């Protein structure tokens, strides 16, 4: 297994960093859904294809410091991009290393979708690929209603997410961390959305309307349900994503 480095951004964001054996000059920031367990399979998949990868933990989740949703998660992404030029210090031995990226690409899914979509407004981000993204928190999810999400996160993940009372409710208002409110600012030409018609967590209606209004590229699958960034590892999906990234 390829060794992954660990580093910190802005002191409180812990991230894994995967350095490609043969780098192609493109950096991927990989953003998970929530709640979920961080995994390395997609990081390794991308590294083998020449991409350096940063896989952060949102503030207030898993290894990172802070409180979850005190700060809108797209700020985590922008803080990472801010520090790229300064280099990163390995948590293991303190060695400073730099990535020589020409492009910053965000690959995100579900809860992480809003972070990627909102961060697309930054000119330093060249492409965003969003799998089953949340585009409007005020749209009720048939299979994951808000109260169930809240209960499951607390009972199933414990201190994996340190959430002060009321922070999850900020999502429910639709005024916080919500791409729907920023459609006029979001550059759709940078964005590829992939979702399934039978997804009952992030339903098709809002996604299709968001894609149309922002003029984002959108691939709709008949089946597949609600999927995360692991969908990238299916060869049919990877071929389409690769073509978009290289366009």
pLDDT by residue (tens digit) across 78-119? Answer: 999 999 999 999 999 999 999 888 999 999 999 999 999 999
pLDDT of residue 2: 63
- CATH code at position 234: 3.40.50.1820
Output the pTM of the full model. Answer: 0.96
Domain count, the chain: 1
| Cα gap 199→177, rounded to integer Å | 21
Note the helical H segments in 59-203.
74-83, 112-119, 146-157, 169-172
Residue ranges, the chain, pLDDT below 50: 1
DSSP summary character for residue 58: P
Q: Which residue is it, tokens 């054996």?
A: 21
Neighbours of 242 (CB within 10 A): 12
Structural domain that includes position 142: 5-245
pLDDT of residue 18: 95
Pairing of strands 26-31, 103-109: parallel
């Amino acid at each position: 297994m390829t060794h992954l480095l660990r580093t910190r951004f802005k002191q409180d964001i812990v991230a894994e960093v995967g350095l490609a054996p043969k780098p192609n000059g493109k950096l991927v920031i990989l953003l998970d859904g929530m709640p979920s367990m961080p995994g390395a399979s997609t990081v390794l998949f991308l590294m083998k294809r020449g991409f350096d990868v940063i896989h952060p933990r949102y503030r207030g989740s898993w290894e990172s410091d802070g409180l979850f949703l005190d700060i809108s998660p797209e700020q985590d992404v922008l803080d990472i991009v801010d520090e790229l030029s300064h280099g990163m210090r390995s948590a293991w031995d303190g060695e400073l290393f730099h990535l020589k990226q020409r492009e910053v690409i965000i690959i995100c899914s579900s809860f992480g979708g809003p972070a990627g979509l909102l961060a697309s407004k930054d000119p330093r981000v060249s492409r965003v690929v969003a799998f089953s993204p949340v585009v409007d928190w005020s749209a009720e999810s048939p299979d994951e209603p808000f109260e169930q999400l809240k209960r499951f996160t607390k009972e199933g993940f414990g201190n994996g997410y340190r959430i002060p009372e009321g922070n999850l409710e900020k999502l429910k208002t639709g005024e916080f961390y919500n791409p729907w409110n920023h459609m006029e600012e979001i550059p759709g030409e940078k964005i590829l959305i992939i979702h399934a018609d039978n997804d009952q967590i992030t339903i098709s209606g809002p996604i299709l309307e968001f894609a149309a209004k922002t003029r984002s590229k959108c691939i709709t699958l008949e089946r597949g349900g609600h999927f995360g960034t692991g969908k990238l590892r299916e060869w049919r999906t990877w071929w389409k994503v690769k073509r978009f990234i290289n366009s």
